[in-house]
Chain A
Amino acid sequence: MAALGAILSGLRRAVGRDLAASVKANNLLFLGLLGGAAEALFVLLGFLLLFPLSSDPLAKIPRARLALWPLSGWQRLGLRIASLALSPVAWIGALILLKTKRPGLALGFCGLAVAMQSALAVGRYMAKRDPHWDFLGDIPQVPGRLGGLIRKNVREMLSLLDPYAAALLSLGGGLYRWFGRHPDPAASTIMGLLVALALSTCAQSLFGLDGDSGLARYHLLPLRGWEILLAKDAAFLAILCVLLLPLDPGPGLTFGLVALAFGHQASVRLDLPQQPWRFASGSLPFGAVQTAAGVAMGFLEHQQGLWVLGAAATACAASVWYYGQQWERA
């Protein structure tokens, strides 16, 4: 029992840390200011969060280590069952059961989580067997001196959940715009801003997925700081532009440029490490400023036209130059 207790205690700590890393200061939290109108958006985010949260807690122990521990068959079975209680999906399922008194609904929720994990496992297996299934691997090298870095940065960004939340918003907005009976013209602008908002936390932590090893490489490459930041911004803007295509791109792009102009400060000065397949986590006060400025400039672009977009691009370029120098000194 002592052995199982020690393992479960370690596992509980690992799950707790993972959970803390999954739900952090993301600019999407500001959607809460919209009140009830944001409920559908939070359901969508919850759906995306279910992918990392529904992973098997026992998988946090390296397989070889688990196999080497001197545990009997019964102890292993006990560990397997007890570890399920550490899954956030089990807690949410229990909450649903307590609140709705409908076991079918709770089981259905757990079933959805299992189905998502199964789909992920199949996806991983297919990607391992046939590289064509690895969609991140299909991103081509961009021509030019910074091409390899831009490809890497696009790939890193696409390993966060934020672009997928933005993609769902973009898809929803696009469908409404093209197939809605009498689509409100302002909806396209608002959805464009929401897409940029969904991506904006990534702009606060542009080096978050590089780790110490990647940062060491950046400092060894014969590149100026502004070139490193430019490669980061190019990846961010490339993803944003694609997602804005079905919508009104001007305001969203303006928001994105403003988010980057502010985001360089946090990216260069704050240490905000990110975890793949989680939402990006940033600084909440910083995100508030970023979001307020981005939304304001986005609406201004909608009203005043392209000169606002030009001003945002200039601010972003100035920020790249300034924070590039700061990065070199860091």
Chain B
Amino acid sequence: MLHCQDVSKRFGDFAALDRISFDQPGGILALLGPNGAGKSTLLKILTGLLAPDSGEVRIAGCDVAKEPLRVKRSIGVLPEDLGVFDALTVEEHLELCGPVYGLSRDETRARADVLLRVLGLEKGRYTYLDQCSHGMRKKTALAMALLHNPRVLMLDEPFEGIDPVSSVTIRDLLIAISGRGIAVFLTSHALAMIPQLATDVMMIRGGRVVFRAAAAELGRPLEELYFDLVETPRQEDLPWLRSAQS
């Protein structure tokens, strides 16, 4: 479903991605890594928002560079900056997206009603996005990604800024849709959530893949593995916080 071969990307002297290769036939692949590791850059390349310097990306059999429209029709994306418009309400975002993906108005409305209910957006459906909380904006973008029944779902930090109940709802939703054959690729910092939903885990550091395994075969707690392979927590004192004087 998702094929990535020797993808590299440089920004000036900085190598954001260095020959990244992986295949994801289905299930939920979680991409982990510290800030600046290249997670969002990789997601942008997979979704066609950014062109790689070299390498090939194929989604559902289509080359992202050569058939961008076919790829866009087959993917649902929660991008890093959400891709929402301040001038539209939550509900109007779905009304905008449905017809663009070929859904009728009635079908769009019916699906939008369900999505708004499931994601807890029903009460805020008439709220303009510039008046929404970060969590509501993110859930709106997620609803837009799910509306047209994509074959591949790509989510950048889907749990960041989301309340616990919605996080569990989204987790269960992702597990359910992955069970129906939709491949899910997500990036996350929520290490506690990953073992509960991912079928595969991939870690990158400095633009390179440093670990890839099935979630069931990790052997050690994910957090421990992450701290060993990717980034060790820094322990430093802030001396001015020790005294009562400011």
Binding site for B on A (CB under 8 A): 131, 136-137, 141, 144-149, 151-152, 155-156, 159, 209-214, 216-217, 219-224, 328
Contact = CB atoms under 8 A, between A and B. Distances in A.
Contact of B100 (A136, A148, A210): A148
Dominant secondary structure at the A interface? helix
B49 to A, nearest CB: 5
B101 A222 contact: yes
Nearest to B100: A221
B96 A149 contact: yes
A131 B126 contact: yes
B83 A220 contact: yes
Interface string B48-84: 1100000000000000000011001100010111111
A267 to B, nearest CB: 17
Contact of A219 (B49, B84, B87, B97): B49
A174 to B, nearest CB: 28
11 contacts: A141-B92, A148-B92, A148-B98, A151-B96, A155-B87, A213-B83, A213-B85, A214-B85, A220-B72, A220-B83, A222-B73
Contacts of B83: 213-214, 216-217, 220
A211 B100 contact: no
A213 B87 contact: no
A209 B87 contact: yes
B163 interface: no
Interface in B73-124: 73, 77, 79-89, 92, 95-102
Given A152-B88, A213-B81, A220-B72, 6 more contacts: A145-B99, A148-B97, A151-B96, A214-B83, A214-B85, A217-B83
A148 B85 CA distance: 11
Dominant secondary structure at the B interface? loop
A148 B79 contact: no
A222 B85 contact: no
B47 interface: yes
A152 B49 contact: no
Contacts of B77: 220
Contacts of B102: 145
Given A214-B85, A217-B85, A222-B69, A152 B47 contact: no
A328 B47 CA distance: 14
Contact of A144 (B68, B69, B80, B99): B99
A148 B96 contact: yes
Contacts of A148: 88, 92, 95-100
Most A CB contacts (10 A, CB to CB) among B83, B101, B126 go to B83
Contacts of B101: 222
Contacts of A214: 83-85
Contacts of A156: 85, 87
Interface residues of B, number: 29
A214 to B, nearest CB: 5
A152 B99 contact: no
Contact of B49 (A136, A146, A216): A216
A220 B96 contact: no
Contacts of B80: 216
Given A148-B100, A212-B81, A222 B89 contact: no
Interface string B19-35: 00000000000000000
B95 A152 contact: no
B69 A220 contact: no
B47 to A, nearest CB: 6
Contact of A151 (B47, B92, B98): B92
B99 to A, nearest CB: 5
B107 to A, nearest CB: 14
A220 B96 CA distance: 13
Contacts of B95: 141, 148
Contacts of A137: 89, 126
A6 B26 CA distance: 56
Contacts of B69: 222, 224
B63 to A, nearest CB: 15
Contacts of B73: 222
Most B CB contacts (10 A, CB to CB) among A148, A209, A211 go to A148
Contacts of B126: 131, 137
A97 to B, nearest CB: 38
A222 B68 CA distance: 8
B204 to A, nearest CB: 22
